[in-house]
């Protein structure tokens, strides 16, 4: 299955999950910096709908700072539209992406959408139900492709990784920095810079991964 097909499958899984959340849960903090779960949802809608000129204008008004721009856009849209309205919009956009959503690589979008699903589910202590094929694809992208917004490849460098539920592995000759293992969703979340997931992992490489996440280059950004 292509990344484009996996992305559509993930988005539909997220829609089912999002429709199960309560009004109170939409006001709760997520794992993504200072965003609420409502603002994470708004961010996903923006990513599928904002035009390139509108994004450039927003960047200009925030002195080309990507994180402040992302934050301002998500917070403003969340103030304007309810979670239900945003869910309905996101569902329509799955098959009709616009603006930057049409040009952004599906593999990176898949990682972004899975991680934000986990940002909400793990923060709310909800079951993180992402299909194995999808989270394995995200892990492969994280360790194999440098992403300017998410330092997962850097965080994984030199570590041997093992997803105990899906069987996914990424090995390093000589296990230079140790082994890290756990559920695939927790590995993906931790590699993307979410400290919350570290306590759910095991292995002699966890301290190394923890130190990388704690360093400035490993900090999670609001765009996830």
User: In CATH, what number is assigned to the domain containing residue 24?
Assistant: 1.20.120.450
Q: Which of 114, 111, 82, 110 is nearest to 97 (CA)?
A: 110
Query: 223 in a domain, yes or no?
Result: no
Residues 158 and 109 both lie in one domain: no
Residues 13 and 117 both lie in one domain: yes
Percent of the chain's residues with pLDDT above 90: 70
The Cα–Cα gap between 172 and 159 comes to: 6
12-41 average pLDDT score: 95
Task: Write out the residue range of the structural domain in which residue 108 sits.
Answer: 3-123
- Partnered with residue 180 across adjacent β-strands are 161
Query: 224 in a domain, yes or no?
Result: no
Residues 117 and 150 both lie in one domain: no
135-155 average pLDDT score: 91
CB-based burial label for 27 (10 Å; 0-12, 13-18, 19+): exposed
Q: Is the pLDDT of residue 174 over 80?
A: no
3-state secondary structure of 156: helix
Query: 69 in a domain, yes or no?
Result: yes
What is the count of structural domains for the chain?
2
> Which of 101, 123, 145 is a domain's end point?
123
Residues 106 and 15 both lie in one domain: yes
| pTM (whole model) above 0.85 | yes
Residues 116 and 8 both lie in one domain: yes
Percent of the chain's residues with pLDDT above 70: 94
The chain-wide mean pLDDT, for the chain, equals: 90
All residues at 6 or more sequence positions from 28 whose CB lies less than 8 Å from its CB, including other chains: 36, 37, 123, 124
Least confident piece of the model among 1-10, 46-55, 124-133: 46-55
pLDDT of residue 175: 64
Residues 24 and 102 both lie in one domain: yes
96-121 average pLDDT score: 91
Query: Where does 51-195 have alpha helices with state H?
Result: 52-61, 66-80, 83-93, 100-103, 106-123, 132-144, 152-156, 184-191
pLDDT of residue 223: 54
> Which of 58, 93, 123 is a domain's end point?
123
DSSP state of 221: P
Query: 185 in a domain, yes or no?
Result: yes
Give the pLDDT confidence of 182-200 residue by residue, as tens digits.
999 999 999 999 999 999 9
Alpha-carbon separation of residue 56 from 25, 43, 66 (angstroms): 32, 16, 10
Residues 148 and 82 both lie in one domain: no
When comparing pLDDT for 211 and 101, which is higher? 211
pLDDT of residue 92: 95
């Amino acid at each position: 299955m292509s990344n484009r097909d996996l992305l559509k499958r993930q988005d539909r899984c997220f829609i089912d999950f999002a429709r199960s959340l309560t009004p109170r849960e939409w006001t709760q903090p997520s794992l993504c910096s200072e965003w609420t779960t409502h603002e994470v949802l708004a961010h996903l809608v923006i990513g599928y709908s904002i035009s390139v000129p509108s994004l450039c204008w927003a960047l200009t008004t925030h002195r080309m700072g990507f994180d402040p721009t992302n934050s301002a856009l998500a917070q403003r849209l969340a103030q304007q539209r309810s979670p239900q309205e945003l869910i309905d919009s996101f569902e329509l956009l799955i098959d009709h992406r616009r603006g930057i959503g049409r040009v952004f690589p599906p593999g990176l979008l898949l990682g972004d959408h899975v991680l934000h699903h986990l940002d909400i589910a793990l923060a709310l202590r909800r079951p993180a139900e992402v299909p194995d094929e999808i989270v394995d694809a995200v892990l492969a992208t994280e360790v194999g492709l440098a992403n300017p917004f998410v330092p997962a490849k850097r965080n994984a460098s030199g570590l041997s990784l093992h997803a105990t539920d899906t069987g996914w592995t990424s090995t390093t000759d000589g296990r230079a920095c140790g082994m890290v293992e756990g559920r695939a969703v927790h590995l993906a979340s931790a590699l993307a810079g979410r400290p919350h997931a570290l306590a759910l992992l095991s292995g002699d490489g966890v301290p190394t991964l923890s130190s990388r996440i704690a360093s400035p280059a490993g900090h999670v950004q609001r765009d996830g």
